[in-house]
A and B are shown apart, each in its own frame.
Chain A
């Protein structure tokens, strides 16, 4: 059956953890767009949701940092952060162990991939799930791309990973949804937290929505760091979704800089037809 849904969204911990400090109108516009994303996901009737994330030293550290890792567990747990700090309660989330294994085996033919049978979700996955699967009843397959500890996963490999993941999904009878989560420009958890380069974001999103592979994979890490902060490295998750929807375009449903959330909050979908 392959993909029945593809999208991207922000995952900043402030979206849930500092919600009361945001401009109420901005917050409600974002929440409404996330609700629309949830509705669209539900209407696609997926059997499983692949979350392509940029985790933040919750499971992976520089003692053994994979470029790509995919979950292969029966269950996951999260959030790893303090519940009060993140504003999300501790939960157990179902995995899709057998399908994970099949997808991993297939992707491995094209991209070197680590796998993990233990995974504690951080805000990078929990914030999207809080909005998209609030009952935590849809099986999840997590994917991590190294967006945090240089040397980072090259952008062209992220696109290729997305293509390999799509090919693997195409081989399966299940209805599979995919969501990429990350910031665009942002300087999270630093003294510059709240800084957002809106024009940089809009240029990148235009490339993403039109699935311009050459432009999406042309950003250097130096350029990204200088113009979009270290949080900009998370564009890798968007690039992977673009790879998984190669040849298709999308729609930007929401973009608005919300400094207390430390991101230009984003919601977008890509065609899977």
Chain B
């Protein structure tokens, strides 16, 4: 090495102490960087080198992480930072103007910046002030946010008409909701599971026809059976709580209202597949939910329901919480695993799938919060009971997050196979006065733009082929004032900002698409732009490395299909 790099530098005691506290674990590098960023406001080359030296990691590796996660890249100490959400719904509720208005109102000590959907759509326009979730943000309340006020919380305590509640607490229910059982110091379903053979548990879960709630709808029992069948050890259960899909906030509400159900579900799956430990990977913007989960884990451990020798059996299952630092891509299961290992959240090529090569290369379950939360009730009440809920072919309940120009937006629990018409009229209590349905965005940013003609398509995990995606259950109803072109541009811009940049089609293709859409919005289209947009979206569908890239094509292709005139360039699409 060059002599200058060999010169002695005294270690920075701040970094040494911090990493000592974190156990010098490579997986904690993101946490260490978050803490240093909060303290110094900027991750300087010095801090990055010091962290690398203490952890014995390459400097380039730490730098790569420090510039990957959006919460680490803002040049400001966190307590003086306001991040305004520019998700599709917050935009609709005036987030853009808000940003400039706040900028003019606050002094220079504040840093005001945008951020991708915060999962606070029910409090739009939302923001993070420091680490606190705030919303709806109103200019007149700026002083109060500083002193810790966080706006108005949504109340999902009582079901709305037509709701079927199985997951969420239902004060009026005949059976005690399972989430309440913990108040008595029990995980009743886990208790039952520990008396069963892993095979019997898996059998029950498979029989329930439960499908993964993260968006793809893969049969959950089958995935867990695969991991259970692997001989390699240790194995892990990872709960994907990186809920970052625009319009989706169901996992946040679940963790807020019944964290024990999620943990119990993890423990049951852990027992069934023979896992040694569980990890909850939760997005960096869910600070309060992290606290909530950590508190819940403490309580459960105190009751002997998590940790070692659960219920006096040989089964031990500690659960750890790992907080992300701002990256939509980490919701993709292999990117999540990379991030969990303390790396940049770049997806791996699949196969091998996590069932074979997961966390630290071991067989790993990666399942969504909502999926895992459904496990205790299936075990406690049986697969037959679960199949009796909702639609027989796609049984159980689903959490929907309904937003937009309806009279009663917000989260509700319902069966599969609802139509948009039912959702708007029955659950949303109709279109808002003065609004008429123009189009909907279903399934989040990775979903579909749905025209009026598809109002009566029953929505489930398989309905995307009929033009209406369910995804993770986010639905945005737009009226005549909204433009599908602008919506698609916003979604593509979101994907551009959130692309990890690993594969060519996504890194450059999405950037190109956004530039074309910008031109279309500005009315400055170039010849062939429309055709190129379609071509690029097909390339992304065919050639992207991971689901994110493939997702980009969904809203674009549905918009091109249903609203071709808007994308026409000089009359020639």
- Same complex: no
Interface residues of A (CB under 8 A from B): none
Interface residues of B (CB under 8 A from A): none
